[in-house]
Amino acid sequence: MDTPKFKPFIRQTISHARQWEWIPPDLQEAVQVVSHVLPFRTNEYVLDHLIDWNNIPDDPIYRLTFPHRDMLAPDDYARLKELVLGKADQPALVELVRRIRLRMNPHPAGQMTHNVPRVNDAPLKGLQHKYKETVLFFPSSGQTCHAYCTFCFRWPQFVGMDDMKFDAKESHELAAYLRMHPEVTDVLITGGDPLIMNTRSLEAYIEPLLAPDLAHIQNIRIGTKSVAYWPQRFVSDRDADDLLRLFERVVKAGKNMAIMGHYNHAVELRQEIAQQAVKRIVGTGATLRMQGPLIRHINEDPASWAELWQTGVRLGAIPYYMFVERDTGPREYFQLPLARAHAIFQAAYQMVSGLSRTVRGPSMSAFPGKVVIDGIATIGGEKVFALQFLQARNADWVRKPFYAKFDPQATWMDELKPAFGKEKFFFEEEGGSRSEYGAEPPGSRKVIPLLSARADSSAPAAGCDSHSAA
């Protein structure tokens, strides 16, 4: 039997896919126009097995992977369409695309201003260190994906915005940084998708983390969407077995090999090969944790979430996070009110047994940390959101409950106001901020200076202000 080979499609080649002629002209136009602003890439597996072509454009995986005109403001779309179809004024097209992108908050939650560590007053390209225990590493050869999600909060990585791109050419700076920071227990290798790399390249990044002098690194994580978009990576790719042997080596070295699998809809785990991939991963001794954001138009059905978690648990995976869609990219198209997000999570949570209730959410990966909506309650006659930090720039904030006024329209942290007549949330009183803009309104961008990384553990952690822990 022929082994399927990975074949991607982008804006310039999607018309070669047999499904292209099934797409109505107005939807074809939207793909060609909007993909000048947002990244577009899909593959034969997604086209052949995940999309119901009788249900486009409403099919969730179609909306997840194909750009739509409503992802842009009407005036922007009209002007962009004129320039794209006219093919006359290339400089004007480039400038319009640049302006639209910059209005889309391309580095949310302080990724570039507060999360990048520095050594000897120089930034470490390809690293982020927001929380004390965890460092993110972006290998340069892993800065693409088997297919792109239209909501992806790392979209600037893929559209040529080089000044907003995280990528590291080699791993020696990562190892050197980790030796300076014994408080770090977790390394998350992310992208893009590190599993777009062949196993030999991935091994070159992981091998240094197994050195005896990095014994404080307990968990090596890989963030990947390949479990859904190209499960052949673990089953039938030429070096799939080598990849699984690499996972086994990490486990044998005494580390936890954690695959952070990005799933957005139950259909992604209904395919036999996708289920086989899960079984092969967990068979190595690695763990597979399931996470993904709640997205309007894609996965608002609680039953889909319940099916996803239940199927994962049956196969040996661990439900981990339901996120709130981040405040970047075409957020107006995808965002849901926090009240509705909580209702969807609660309904899905009620459908599953305790084994699936390892999942946490809905969680906002906001500037100060991961904020979970624990519930909606009435306290002292006031209706409130009950909130807490699951992770935070300052470790003292973790698991400390706090309350916001109930707002049925609020979609993100910076739209919430403190409850009970308070002017600030507790972490703002302690010098923190609910957004990367501090006291400034979200529309006014400013450059926030970074602190140098310090070798001594008593100094403020790299890549954050003096009130934070990375």
Q: How far apart, in whole angstroms, are the C-alpha atoms of residue 114 and residue 343?
A: 32
Mean pLDDT of 308-327: 94
pLDDT for the residue 192: 86
* Mean local confidence (pLDDT), 320-341: 89
- At 2 the pLDDT is 64
Report d(CA 243, CA 249) in Å as an integer: 10
Tens digit of each residue's pLDDT (9 = 90 or more) over 207-246: 999 999 999 999 999 999 999 999 999 999 999 999 999 9
Kindly indicate the confidence band of residue 440, based on its pLDDT and cuts at 50, 70 and 90. very low
- H-type alpha helices, 181-330: 199-206, 226-229, 240-252, 272-283, 302-315
Average pLDDT of every residue of the chain = 86
pLDDT exceeds cutoff 70 at 202: yes
Percent share of the chain, pLDDT over 70: 84
- Per-residue pLDDT at 319: 98
Q: What is the token pair recorded at 85?
A: 């179809």
Instruction: Look up residue 364 and give its DSSP letter.
Output: E
Rounded distance, CA 50 to CA 456, Å? 50
pLDDT tens digits for range 362-380 = 999 988 899 999 999 999 9
**pLDDT tens sequence across 93-145:** 989 988 888 887 766 644 444 556 666 566 677 888 888 899 999 988 888 89
Alpha-carbon gap, residue 8 to 10, rounded angstroms: 7
pLDDT of residue 107: 60
pLDDT beyond 90 at 306: yes
**pLDDT the model gives residue 330:** 80
Structure tokens at 177: 């940084």
Q: Quick one: average pLDDT of 393-421?
A: 94
Instruction: Report the pLDDT value the prediction gives residue 455, as an integer from 0 to 100.
Output: 34
Q: Which pLDDT value is given to residue 247?
A: 98
What pLDDT does 181 receive?
A: 93
Q: Is pLDDT above 60 for 408?
A: yes
pLDDT digits (tens, 9 = 90+) for 175-200: 889 999 999 999 999 988 999 999 99
The token pair that represents 11 in the structure block: 């804006």
How much is the CA Rg of the chain, to the nearest whole Å? 22
Q: Is 12 exposed, middle or buried (0-12, 13-18, 19+ CB in 10 A)?
A: exposed
pTM for the model stands at 0.86
Q: Note the pLDDT tens digit of each residue in 150-170.
A: 888 665 665 565 544 445 556
Q: What is the model's pLDDT at position 371?
A: 95
